[in-house]
């Protein structure tokens, strides 16, 4: 067995496939002793990768691209979610987005929740930070809900299952970014180019395991809900079912391919570093592992159909 520590950005449904794959025994199936560690903040996840503690991380693409532009040895090799799914929630008294002008919105800087917030606010005619001030909120998405309730912020960016909890508490969903149907590289698996080069077999086995995890999630509802409950510390059955359905059947890919149009969208809309203008999505990714598994017929055999 090869020990492999994996980093995720939060104990929330968007990251479920990483611990679920462990709970289902699929890392072990491919000779990996997978250990999942939640590390809040995209920069902190990357720091864990660079110091060797977390050879593979699951996170949003913007911070990976920024790190690569800064000269870091980092590359994305697979993608589990190719759309953006965060919602903007406010207190019930907000009836129009323009009421948020001069107010505060809470999210984690550098993550997909920031990207979702900015995309949603732009659609609603608000600019960050000119019209609404961002607040970097630690403590997870539950802390953001609490912050919205106690008035420390006026809006928050959250994802399932916390969106369902917020709705149950009487908070108001201003917009669900998924409804905009933007192709966007959200959930991505990253490593260093040197680790991929020196431990390619480990990355291939990990990709096989996570691919089976994606199928397991879609085809094993009860086991997936149990894993989600353990991971998020959520006990509400309705919230768990809604979260499972959203990610298993709507957001997660069947095959963990990266989306080049989705990466280009990130580059055009989320990255402010001027050097990105001379780059292409291919500069930040390595598709060779996915291509190898495709050529071997792995995904076709896994799903028993062409995917």
How far apart (Å, rounded) are the C-alpha atoms in residues 81 and 286? 17
Tell me what the mean pLDDT of segment 261-277 comes to: 93
Single out the residue in 122, 155, 180 at which a domain terminates. 180
- Rounded average pLDDT over 153-172: 92
pLDDT (0 to 100) of residue 56: 98
Q: How far apart are CA 240 and CA 206, in angstroms?
A: 26
Task: Return the pLDDT at 181.
Answer: 87
In this prediction, residue 159 carries a pLDDT of 87
Residues 289 and 266 in one domain: yes
Which of 156, 180, 204 lies at the terminal end of a domain, its last residue? Answer: 180
Residue 10: band (very low, low, confident or very high) from pLDDT cuts 50, 70, 90: confident
At 140 the pLDDT is 83
In the structure, what pLDDT confidence band is assigned to residue 269 with cuts at 50, 70 and 90?
confident
pLDDT tier for residue 40 given thresholds of 50, 70 and 90: confident
Helix (H, G, I), strand (E, B) or coil at 285: strand
Contacts with 61 (C-beta within 8 Å, 6 or more apart), sequence order: 76, 185, 186, 188, 262, 263, 266, 284
Please, which pLDDT band fits residue 296 given cuts at 50, 70 and 90? very high
Q: Write down which residue in 127, 161, 180 finishes a domain.
A: 180
Q: What is the pLDDT of residue 145?
A: 97
Q: Does one domain contain both 188 and 73?
A: yes
Give residue 52's domain range.
Answer: 2-83+184-303
Q: Please report which helix (H) or strand (E) contains residue 35, including its range.
A: strand 32-38
Q: Domain count of the chain? A: 2
d(CA 229, CA 246): 15
CB contact burial 14-38 (16+ within 10 A = b; e otherwise): bbbbbbbbbbbebbeebebebebeb
Domain CATH for 299:
3.40.190.10
Which one has a higher pLDDT value, 166 or 85? 166
Tens digit of each residue's pLDDT (9 = 90 or more) over 53-112: 999 999 999 999 999 999 999 999 999 999 988 999 999 999 999 999 999 999 988 777
Other CB atoms closer than 10 Å to residue 291's CB: what's the count?
Answer: 11
Quote the pLDDT of residue 162.
87
Per-residue pLDDT, averaged over 135-155, amounts to 94
Domain shared by 164 and 196, yes or no: no
Residue 153 has pLDDT above 80, yes or no: yes
**Co-location of 267 and 118 in the same domain:** no
Average pLDDT, stretch 165-188?
93
Say if residue 292 is in the same domain as residue 240: yes
Residues 176 and 214 in one domain: no
Same domain, 74 and 209: yes
Are 145 and 78 part of one and the same domain? no
Residue 35, strand partner residues: 5
More confident residue, 164 or 102: 102
131/55 same-domain check: no
CA 199 to chain centre: 24
One domain for residues 23 and 139? no
Same domain, 153 and 6: no
The whole-model pTM stands at 0.86
Together in a domain, 224 and 94? no
Q: What is the pLDDT of residues 236-265, one digit of tens each?
A: 899 899 999 999 999 999 999 999 999 999
Q: Which of 9 and 138 is assigned the larger pLDDT?
A: 9
The answer, yes or no, to whether residue 42 has pLDDT greater than 90, is no
């Amino acid at each position: 067995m090869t020990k492999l520590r994996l980093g995720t950005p939060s104990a929330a449904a968007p990251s479920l496939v990483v611990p679920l794959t462990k709970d289902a025994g699929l890392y072990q199936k491919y000779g990996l002793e997978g250990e999942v560690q939640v590390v809040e903040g995209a920069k902190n996840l990357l720091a864990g990768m660079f110091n060797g503690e977390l050879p593979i991380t699951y996170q949003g693409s913007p911070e990976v691209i920024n790190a690569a532009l800064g000269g870091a040895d980092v590359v994305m090799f697979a993608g589990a979610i190719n759309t953006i799914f965060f919602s903007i929630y406010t207190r019930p008294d907000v009836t129009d987005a323009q009421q948020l002008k001069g107010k505060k919105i809470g999210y984690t800087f550098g993550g997909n929740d920031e990207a979702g917030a900015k995309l949603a606010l732009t659609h609603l005619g608000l600019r960050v930070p000119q019209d609404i001030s961002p607040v970097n909120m630690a403590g997870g998405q539950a802390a953001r809900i609490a912050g919205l309730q106690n008035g420390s912020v006026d809006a928050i960016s959250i994802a399932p299952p916390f969106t369902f909890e917020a709705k149950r508490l009487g908070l108001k969903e201003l917009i669900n970014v998924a409804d905009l149907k933007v192709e966007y590289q959200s959930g991505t698996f990253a490593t260093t180019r040197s680790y991929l080069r020196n431990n390619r077999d480990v990355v291939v086995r990990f990709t096989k395991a996570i691919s089976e995890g994606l199928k397991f999630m879609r085809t094993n509802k009860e086991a997936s809900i149990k894993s989600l409950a353990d991971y998020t510390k959520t006990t509400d059955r309705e919230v768990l079912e809604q979260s499972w359905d959203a990610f298993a059947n709507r957001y997660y890919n069947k095959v963990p391919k990266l989306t080049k149009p989705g990466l280009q969208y990130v580059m055009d809309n989320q990255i402010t570093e001027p050097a990105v203008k001379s780059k292409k999505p291919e500069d930040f990714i390595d598709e060779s592992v996915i291509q190898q598994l495709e050529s071997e017929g792995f995904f076709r055999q896994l799903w028993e159909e062409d995917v």
